A and B are shown apart, each in its own frame.
Chain A
Amino acid sequence: MKNIKVTIDKKEVEVKQGTTILDAAKSVGITIPTLCYLHLKDFNITNRPAGCRICVVEVEGRRNLAPACATECTEGMVINTHNIRVLNARKTVLELILSDHPTDCLICAKSGNCELQTLAHEFGIREIEYQGEQSTYKKDMSPSIIRDVDKCIMCRRCEMMCNEIQTVGALSAVNRGFTSVVAPAFEQDLSCSPCTYCGQCVAVCPTGALTEVDHTNQIIRLLADPTKTVVVQTAPAVRAALGEEFGLKPGTSVTGKMVSALRELGFDYVFDTDFAADLTIMEEGSELLDRIARYLKGDTTVKLPILTSCCPGWVNFFEHQFPDMLDVPSTARSPQQMFGSIAKTYFADKLKIKRQDMVVVSIMPCLAKKFERSREEFSTDGNPDVDFSLSTRELAQLIKQANINFNALPESDYDAPLGESTGAAVIFGASGGVIEAATRTAYEIFTGKTLEKVDFTELRGLESIREATVDFNGTPIKIGIAHGLGNARKLLERVRAGNSGFHAIEIMACPGGCIGGGGQPLHHGDSSILFARQKAIYDEDKSKAIRKSHENPYIQKLYKEFLGAPLSEKSHHLLHTHYFDKKKVIEIDE
């Protein structure tokens, strides 16, 4: 492609044809402020409705100002990015946006992490000259996500994530003009929509319009309650990202510090969801082998491929969008739920306390986990297996509130018995990790041989849909991996068509898997952060003495003492689940 020359703020720049003014300016160190624009290069995601008009610049010879994010450079273009006309326009437009936005920044969940607030600060807005009517809407409180639509600035990022990336279709721009806003159908609550609570909308929202349900205050109260035994579990991806909230470099693994922090906060037992991840592999892996064995024997009723079921966003997705395929995914519960189930039975028995006196808290990179824990089927006599699910961001908040100097904390180990895990469990946090962990175990059980090479690098990466065939000692096992629900849909449609040829498929709702989860520290579209987190995960796997789930001695002990064997009746009762058809159907009303 040919190069073209443009002049930006009197600097000559040579760029490739098709380069936007924004990128051209960036290449010579000129920063143009943006608001609605969002670019996630490695996921091929770009949101540029050119709607906020904050990035306008002056192009000589052009009647009006041009949005830098969406205007391509043309040969000989002369651009001014910060003359009076441009600065006045930007400031006025920002004031307009602020004039229709609440000013309760002090108590807003996004305070300190809000792109609009940052712009207002950078632009030095001290008063809003254009006052007038503000749009007001009802607050929407779902189990996972809070929509405070008064704070919506119509950047459309959430709509793009929900529709184009995740293909969930819960959100759309509705109404028009001053009353336009992004909302579910009929402006109902998210809980009436096909929302999967993947939280990708929350992850990209520049303001406080979309935030997670915050449980930190309840946790503080429970920790102070002497009658409760409060047990905490931490998901694999949390350790790879939590440090970012405390100014550590992305990719810094903070497992030991996190455990110390949780102890300081007053949790009675600090356990690891990784333990339950190993358990998941035992159940899910056995289910896979069972199906393959039946298939190889010629059983035509067997459903292949088996689909992983540890991602609650993904479970919500297929319950809404593929109700005809409810018997395809594994019935194994997610690690969070397996943990809760074991904690409130096996571990409560050991402590000789009633399940009602135990509180299980999970720290998750995810917002859908908040919904998952609230599912009726995951409670006994009205007492849920997992009482609270906090996001990585909430945990950071909790640590900050408690005045704990995180970076100065010593490293410490998880408690036994539910804190012991293998390298296979850690990699659950990255896309491809679950299936790699399952492969390590399934291979050894299926072939009866010891794996020579534990690392299945062919299953790793961040490409949206990946396929690989693993040789199970002569039996080729075809594996598919997708992350992001839009990619999942593509793979699932191939499965539905019946000729995909896959034996097993891993699906994670969020782009990048759990490391890019909706509850993680905001990466603001910087995918290098995701790569760093991914590396931290695989490094931790490598550093582990045991790297296969079935070799975890505490897992072996759990089966011996309590569960019996994988897929046993007790396992089925405590560790497996069933799925519901959530598609809306039309009831004929004669």
Chain B
Amino acid sequence: MAKIKLSNTKVEQIKAICKEFNNNKGELINVLHKTQGVFGYLPAEVQEVIAEELGVSVAQVYGVVSFYSFFTMVPKGEHPISICMGTACYVRGAEKVLDEFKRILNIQVGQTTPDGKFSLSCLRCVGACGLAPVVMVGEKVYGRVSTDSVKAIIQEYQKEKCS
């Protein structure tokens, strides 16, 4: 009997989410959305519970999780930074902005800083092309970002730690 570890409350939470969608395997993506909303990410253990509840194989759940870029198996940083790589942002210099974030944070796309504070990702068009290039930190949208303003954006969140 192989065992996986998860706290009771978490298991109950996942089960409740599955139940909310009638344990219907057709609702797998909705279940994953909601679960990720609660836990922040979808570690293997969580996927095991979902597979069991919905009556699908774990391989299938992972097949879905790994297909969609929205789902993640690693926790994101406290302040997830996303750079829009839509065309409008690209032609207005998003690549340079991204390079600057990489340089200052010293991480690559998909990574989290060692202190767990920031993670870096690219996202597709958020539809705020008027503000290109666009950067999102958590839910907050920064428009017309230039390489010069990158430092200030990061500092805004670093200060929080001291206060």
Option from B3, B11, B62 in Cβ contact (under 8 Å) with A584: B3
**Residues of A contacting B59 with CB < 8 Å?**
169-172, 174, 183-185, 193
Interface residues in A520-553 by Cβ distance below 8 A to B read: none
A193 to B58, CA, bound (A): 9
A586 to B11, CA, bound (A): 8
A195 to B45, CA, bound (A): 19
Q: Are B2 and A589 in contact (CB under 8 A)?
A: no
Q: Are B8 and A590 in contact (CB under 8 A)?
A: yes
A174 to B44, CA, bound (A): 14
A-contact bits for B35-71, CB 8 A (1 contact / 0 none) = 0000000001101110010001111111100110000
CB distance from B127 to the nearest CB of A (A): 23
Q: Are B47 and A580 in contact (CB under 8 A)?
A: no
**Residues of A contacting B63 with CB < 8 Å?**
172-174
Q: Are B1 and A174 in contact (CB under 8 A)?
A: no
Q: How many A-B residue pairs have CB under 8 A?
A: 84
> Any chain B CB within 8 A of the CB of A494?
no
B-contact bits for A565-590, CB 8 A (1 contact / 0 none) = 00000000000000011111111111
CB distance from A567 to the nearest CB of B (A): 28
> Any chain B CB within 8 A of the CB of A178?
no
Which range contains the number of A residues in contact with the other chain? Answer: 20 to 34
Which B-chain residue is minimally distant from A589 (CB atoms)? Answer: B5
B-contact bits for A440-478, CB 8 A (1 contact / 0 none) = 000000000000000000000000000000000000000
Interface residues in A52-92 by Cβ distance below 8 A to B read: none
**Residues of A contacting B162 with CB < 8 Å?**
none
Option from B1, B45, B49, B62 in Cβ contact (under 8 Å) with A580: B1
> Any chain A CB within 8 A of the CB of B4?
yes
CB distance from A173 to the nearest CB of B (A): 6
User: Number of B residues contacting the other chain (C-beta, 8 Å)?
Assistant: 26
> Any chain B CB within 8 A of the CB of A175?
yes
Q: Which residues of A contact B (CB under 8 A)?
A: 163, 168-176, 183-187, 192-194, 323, 580-590
A494 to B45, CA, bound (A): 31
Q: Are B1 and A582 in contact (CB under 8 A)?
A: yes
Given contacts A174-B66, A185-B44, A185-B47, whether A587 and B58 have CB atoms under 8 Å apart is: no
Q: Which of A323, A580, A583, A587 has the most CB of B within 10 A?
A: A587
CB distance from A377 to the nearest CB of B (A): 15
Q: Are B11 and A588 in contact (CB under 8 A)?
A: yes
Q: Are A589 and B58 in contact (CB under 8 A)?
A: no
Option from A172, A176, A586 in Cβ contact (under 8 Å) with B45: A586
A-contact bits for B1-39, CB 8 A (1 contact / 0 none) = 111111110010000000000000000000000000000
A171 to B63, CA, bound (A): 9
Which B-chain residue is minimally distant from A177 (CB atoms)? Answer: B67
CB distance from B65 to the nearest CB of A (A): 9
**Residues of A contacting B49 with CB < 8 Å?**
586
Q: Are A588 and B57 in contact (CB under 8 A)?
A: no
| 11 A-B pairs whose Cβ atoms sit less than 8 Å apart in the complex | A169-B59, A173-B63, A185-B62, A187-B62, A193-B59, A584-B2, A584-B4, A585-B2, A588-B7, A588-B11, A590-B7
Q: Are B6 and A172 in contact (CB under 8 A)?
A: no
**Residues of B contacting A169 with CB < 8 Å?**
56-60
CB distance from B67 to the nearest CB of A (A): 5
CB distance from A164 to the nearest CB of B (A): 12
Which A-chain residue is minimally distant from B2 (CB atoms)? Answer: A584
**Residues of A contacting B58 with CB < 8 Å?**
169, 185-186, 193, 584
Interface residues in B105-129 by Cβ distance below 8 A to A read: none
**Residues of A contacting B73 with CB < 8 Å?**
186
Given contacts A163-B57, A586-B4, A586-B49, whether A172 and B11 have CB atoms under 8 Å apart is: no
